[in-house]
Copies of this chain bind each other. A is one copy, B any other.
Amino acid sequence: MVGKEDLKLLGLEVSPFVIRVRMALGIKGVSYEYVEEDLPFNKSDLLLASNPVHKKVPVLIHNGKPVCESLVIVQYVDELFAGPPILPADPYERATARFWAAFVDDKLVPAWIGILKAKTEDERAEKATETLAAIGLVEATLADGRAFFGGDSIGYLDIVLGSCLFWFEALRMMHGVEIIDSGRTPVLAAWAERFGESAESKGVVPGADEAVKYANKLAAAAAAAAAAATK
């Protein structure tokens, strides 16, 4: 734990990756300055200078030094600040949490983002199938009576997966895809309810309508760019 902190978070309200960092900082009870970026349209000079490799949010700037990539930042926050632990204490449980966090980001996230970005109904159906296969594997890992992946309270994997839930609801509203539902994934459905009611998610996770609005804004911009290109 360090003394006086200068913490600035560059973010985007509807980014699951940013929400992970805000939840981590919230769990630790750390206050910070939040700066909303206008993405992907206008990247600030500070963002470009702080994350020249990926030019993406979240970036946590701590005493002038940037930390990038949501999983890296959440672990940094967990290691730096006192307060409730985010990763499990036991090395094997830590490894398991890291394994599934990587699975979420390498398999599940690209699949559900693929549903959004699909250019044809066939492609959308294919990405939906991929998403359901991935979420089914995650369902199986929680099927042992724990309230959260972290045990009795929200931990690393809860943050990593829970930050995606409002987008799942947006995908249901926009495309009728039920990624988590009480019939097929009952354990995750009950977990998602607990997650949504948790103090940790309140005030940080927006409503699904915000995700829909953002998706529509991106689609409109893409359509305008396509129209301009064919003029």
Number of interface residues of A (CB under 8 A): 22
A2 to chain B, nearest CB (A): 9
Q: Is A62 interfacial (CB-CB < 8 Å)?
A: yes
- Are B91 and A53 touching (Cβ within 8 A)? no
Q: Is A92 interfacial (CB-CB < 8 Å)?
A: yes
- Are A91 and B76 touching (Cβ within 8 A)? yes
Q: Is A80 interfacial (CB-CB < 8 Å)?
A: yes
Q: Is A137 interfacial (CB-CB < 8 Å)?
A: yes
Task: Give chain A interface residues in 5-61, CB to chain B under 8 Å.
Answer: 53
- Are B91 and A72 touching (Cβ within 8 A)? no
One digit per residue, 1 when the CB lies within 8 angstroms of any chain B CB and 0 when it does not, for chain A 72-92 equals 110110011000000000011
- Are A99 and B137 touching (Cβ within 8 A)? no
Instruction: Given A72-B98, A72-B99, verify A65-B92 contact (CB < 8 Å).
Output: yes
- Are B68 and A99 touching (Cβ within 8 A)? yes
- Are A72 and B103 touching (Cβ within 8 A)? no
| 8 other A-B residue contacts (CB within 8 Å) besides A67-B92, A79-B91 | A71-B98, A71-B102, A72-B95, A72-B102, A75-B95, A75-B98, A76-B95, A80-B91
